[in-house]
Chain A
């Protein structure tokens, strides 16, 4: 791997950018690996990297049916934060946030992690009470949270509609200043490049068509590029979790839905924090390219189509314009969607599967991107030791049977929606 540096960039510029080497190899799959990770998304690639870097387990393959980063790591709205409500979620995401904070240096690749703040607006007394409660819970667990007044929110986002005629009056907000955004594609590429440099085989265009189970143990996978034996197999493919689990005779508490996102044409900096809301399901940020990135409610029906209903475009546009009227003058450039693994309590499923040496990482609903480094680090720990780290122990597949659901939304054990 060629180490990136400012000098290297300068030299590359003078050379007309003609001599950059491949960022990662395109190896043929070998006949066996110590660990096979199924799914070359953010989490899968991060897992491979930490297996090699932290545990010195380098005889690892990541098998990806398409191209790496073509799944949800390339389709999200780039928001990073750890300000969830429940202590289990907070521990998981805070571990992840701390890894985000050193990630570009760690990977020698600029993931453009910008800690511009993640702000949740409150529009009513009830909203502000809930935000204060969340803030208290975060502070009790050592995570930064600050309750902001209406005036403070207005200074942070000058273009927010704080007029008496505002459709969604703002009473204040809760901000996590260490939260922000990161360049999603760079995360996939950074981890792939770093893992490859440590000897991990990143194998694209390689779809898993079967899991080989002998007795009670998994011994390998069948793929479109041949059979590969494995010591351990980690499933890590959102949108494919149920299909893969079924290959080992398992059914998961997961239903795949759709989440859309949108970007506007690029404009000069106008919004320099991440705007979310306690009540409104639209969220707004501005990429470093200048595009306004918008998201909203999921499409609440089973689908793998990765495209959503036009009603959402209207909803999100209406909500965004109500919050920041200046957005009405922009043109929408792109709309796309990703398949979300919706779990029965809205929280991820990470842990051993009922088949020995098989492991599952799934069910991230619409909150997977922010957890990328943490999920990778913890899943690598699980694949290396065979035992769930205390931070992921609560997220076991067996929690539904035990009634120990991690119910972020506070609506009970049902397919998660707000």
Chain B
């Protein structure tokens, strides 16, 4: 829980963290999971206007 929001956060900080979104029209950072395949977690940069995938990284690359 603390990783999402400290329990003593101000109302303003809590609302900002839990509810507001940048909602970009353009490049956006997203967390994806290859659910039907290797089940790896991926950091993806995707353009929300064109759906072009700009960058892909494994969240936890093998050593």
Residues in A lying within 8 Å of B, measured CB to CB: 242-243, 251-256, 302-305, 344, 400-401, 413
Residue in contact with A242 in the complex, picked from B11, B21, B49, B51, CB distance below 8 Å: B21
* A256-B23 in contact (CB<8A): yes
* A400-B25 in contact (CB<8A): no
Q: Roughly how many angstroms separate A107 CA and B25 CA in the complex, as a whole number?
A: 35
Contact with A along B36-63 (1 / 0, CB 8 A): 0000000000001111000000000000
Q: List 6 A-B contacts (CB under 8 A).
A: A242-B23, A252-B20, A256-B25, A302-B23, A305-B48, A401-B15
Q: Roughly how many angstroms separate A251 CA and B13 CA in the complex, as a whole number?
A: 12
Interface size on B, residues (CB 8 A): 17
* B48-A253 in contact (CB<8A): no
Contact status of A302 and B20, CB under 8 A, knowing A401-B11, A401-B15: no
Task: For the complex formed, measure the closest distance between the CB of A247 and the CB atoms of chain B, giving whole angstroms.
Answer: 13
* A254-B50 in contact (CB<8A): no
* A303-B21 in contact (CB<8A): no
* B48-A251 in contact (CB<8A): no
* B23-A254 in contact (CB<8A): yes
Is B34 an interface position by the 8 A CB rule? no
Between B15, B16, B21, B30, the greatest number of chain A beta carbons within 10 A of the residue's beta carbon is seen for: B21
Is B22 an interface position by the 8 A CB rule? yes
Residue in contact with B23 in the complex, picked from A252, A305, A400, CB distance below 8 Å: A252
The 6 closest A-B pairs by CB, nearest first: A242-B23, A253-B19, A251-B20, A304-B25, A304-B49, A400-B19
For A304, the chain B residues whose CB sits under 8 A away are: 25, 48-49
Q: Roughly how many angstroms separate A337 CA and B54 CA in the complex, as a whole number?
A: 23
Query: Inter-chain contact count A-B, CB under 8 Å?
Result: 44
Residue of B nearest to A250 (CB): B20
Q: Roughly how many angstroms separate A253 CA and B18 CA in the complex, as a whole number?
A: 9
For A243, the chain B residues whose CB sits under 8 A away are: 25
Contact status of A251 and B21, CB under 8 A, knowing A302-B28, A401-B15: yes
Residue of B nearest to A339 (CB): B25
Q: Roughly how many angstroms separate A401 CA and B48 CA in the complex, as a whole number?
A: 28
Task: For the complex formed, measure the closest distance between the CB of B34 and the CB atoms of chain A, giving whole angstroms.
Answer: 15
* A305-B49 in contact (CB<8A): yes
For A400, the chain B residues whose CB sits under 8 A away are: 15, 19
For A255, the chain B residues whose CB sits under 8 A away are: 21, 23
Q: Roughly how many angstroms separate A344 CA and B19 CA in the complex, as a whole number?
A: 7
Task: For the complex formed, measure the closest distance between the CB of B52 and the CB atoms of chain A, giving whole angstroms.
Answer: 10
Task: For the complex formed, measure the closest distance between the CB of B11 and the CB atoms of chain A, giving whole angstroms.
Answer: 6
For B15, the chain A residues whose CB sits under 8 A away are: 400-401
Residue of A nearest to B30 (CB): A302
For A251, the chain B residues whose CB sits under 8 A away are: 16, 20-22
Residue of A nearest to B23 (CB): A242
Q: Roughly how many angstroms separate A400 CA and B24 CA in the complex, as a whole number?
A: 21
For B49, the chain A residues whose CB sits under 8 A away are: 303-305
Contact status of A413 and B25, CB under 8 A, knowing A302-B48, A303-B51, A305-B48: no
For B30, the chain A residues whose CB sits under 8 A away are: 302
Q: Roughly how many angstroms separate A251 CA and B25 CA in the complex, as a whole number?
A: 14
Residue in contact with A252 in the complex, picked from B21, B28, B48, CB distance below 8 Å: B21
Q: Roughly how many angstroms separate A111 CA and B22 CA in the complex, as a whole number?
A: 37
Task: For the complex formed, measure the closest distance between the CB of A241 and the CB atoms of chain B, giving whole angstroms.
Answer: 8
Q: Roughly how many angstroms separate A254 CA and B48 CA in the complex, as a whole number?
A: 14
Q: Roughly how many angstroms separate A243 CA and B25 CA in the complex, as a whole number?
A: 8
* A413-B19 in contact (CB<8A): yes
For B50, the chain A residues whose CB sits under 8 A away are: 305
For B18, the chain A residues whose CB sits under 8 A away are: 413
Residue of A nearest to B12 (CB): A401
Q: Roughly how many angstroms separate A214 CA and B48 CA in the complex, as a whole number?
A: 32
For A252, the chain B residues whose CB sits under 8 A away are: 20-21, 23
Residue of B nearest to A242 (CB): B23
For B11, the chain A residues whose CB sits under 8 A away are: 401
Task: For the complex formed, measure the closest distance between the CB of A256 and the CB atoms of chain B, giving whole angstroms.
Answer: 6
Q: Roughly how many angstroms separate A304 CA and B25 CA in the complex, as a whole number?
A: 6
For B48, the chain A residues whose CB sits under 8 A away are: 256, 302-305
For B23, the chain A residues whose CB sits under 8 A away are: 242, 252, 254-256, 302
Q: Roughly how many angstroms separate A304 CA and B46 CA in the complex, as a whole number?
A: 12
Q: Roughly how many angstroms separate A251 CA and B22 CA in the complex, as a whole number?
A: 7
For A302, the chain B residues whose CB sits under 8 A away are: 23, 28, 30, 48
For B21, the chain A residues whose CB sits under 8 A away are: 242, 251-255
Q: Roughly how many angstroms separate A253 CA and B23 CA in the complex, as a whole number?
A: 9
